[in-house]
Amino acid sequence: MPQAFPFSAIVGQHEMKLAIVISAIDPGIGGVLVFGDRGTGKSTAVRALAALLPKMRAVVGCPYGCDPGAPAGACDSCQVNATKRSAAKTPFKSHLVPVPVVDLPLGATEDRVVGSLDLERALSQGTKAFEPGLLARAHRGFLYIDEVNLLEDHLVDLLIDVAASGENVVEREGLSVRHPARFVLVGSGNPEEGELRPQLLDRFGLSVEVKTPSEIAARIEVVRRRDAYERDSAAFGAMWKKEEERLRRRIVAARARLSKVEVPDAALERAAQLCMRLGTDGLRGELTLMRAARALAAFEGDASVDDPHLRRIAAPALRHRLRRDPLDEAGSSARVERAVQELFGA
Ligand SMILES: [Zn+2]
């Protein structure tokens, strides 16, 4: 398998890159919805970031790739084993695995997504065994759905529920299985091909818009890098190694710092004012804005959330939560930008 395209070598698309990094720092933010033209490197960006993240330690033989260092969040079988092993003082056998990126194809059946009864074993051995699905494979990594707007509503609902709860529960055909499934959901959508229901939009943490670059210089650079990568991915990877290493260290440090970043009352007040001005429904907008600003502050190495963090992350956190305003012709990005300028100053 060729080396993944280096994340740092992606030209432009700053907002998309930042949103994916922020989601990787705090997976609890709720994933990213990427709107935009085809061929703008959405899937490349997710794969590139996953490849950049440090490999994860996983329990050997566990179908969910549980973390041996965190038995509390592990599957039932690993939890039982953890108790036995700690009594016998024998640690788990573990190995390092890459952060998974699982593609969810549009035609996938619910069985394939959530897992199903292993029919072969049921017939040959008469035992009811669980055949894990795509959600199991995505645990601790990314689940990528191209054209999420074309996915059946019940599957989108299910995915968002699992992404929010971090657990997949399967009850059917006499099977009752519950396993951890914590992943960052990344959906891509082309707004011209079917809309997402507003209640679903609202449940994605961040949303970004990507466009094919319109400046000649940027277009040339995209083509040049793509060509160099395709001719010799290893040599291209070596050229970007230092940049990638630097970004990896920043993300690892941000994850470690995240819980210590303070959110002062003044920042909460700003977030509330911004959401009120924009008329976003409910409190999910504020909560996401606060969490994303905190992850951004952690990424920047700052000790507390301040106006610049809120400003920078406001559009991705809020633009997909605005109600249509028939009297306002401006697009949602422009509306957020306008409200930010009114509140924070130009
Ligand atoms: Zn396990």
Note the pLDDT tens digit of each residue in 72-102.
Answer: 888 988 888 888 877 777 888 899 999 999 9
Ligand 1 centroid to residue 35 C-alpha, Å: 35
Between CA 94 and CA 207, with CA 180 as vertex, the angle to 5 degrees is: 110
Q: Per-residue pLDDT for 32 more than 70?
A: yes
pLDDT at 223: 93
Q: Per-residue pLDDT for 324 more than 70?
A: yes
Q: Per-residue pLDDT for 305 more than 80?
A: yes
pLDDT at 36: 83
The mean pLDDT value of the chain amounts to 89
* Percent residues over pLDDT 90 in the chain: 57
Ligand 1 centroid to residue 25 C-alpha, Å: 23
Average pLDDT over residues 212-216: 87
What pTM does this model have? 0.90
Q: Per-residue pLDDT for 323 more than 80?
A: no
pLDDT classification of 286: cutoffs 50, 70, 90: very high
311 flagged as catalytic: no
Average pLDDT over residues 123-148: 88
The highest-confidence range among 18-22, 72-76, 122-126, 321-325, by mean pLDDT, is 18-22
Ligand 1 centroid to residue 172 C-alpha, Å: 21
- Answer yes or no: are the C-beta atoms of 175 and 130 closer than 8 Å: yes
Ligand 1 centroid to residue 60 C-alpha, Å: 9
Cβ neighbours, 10 Å, residue 32: 27
Ligand 1 centroid to residue 58 C-alpha, Å: 8
* Residue that has been written with the tokens 């600003």 in this structure: 293
Per-residue tokens: 127: 């035992």
Average pLDDT over residues 39-66: 90
Cα dist. 230→2, 11, 207, 242, 335 in Å? Answer: 9, 16, 30, 20, 40
Q: Per-residue pLDDT for 299 more than 80?
A: yes
Distance CA 274, CA 205 (A): 17
Average pLDDT over residues 166-178: 86
Ligand 1 centroid to residue 66 C-alpha, Å: 4
Q: Which of 284, 294, 311, 321 is catalytic?
A: 284
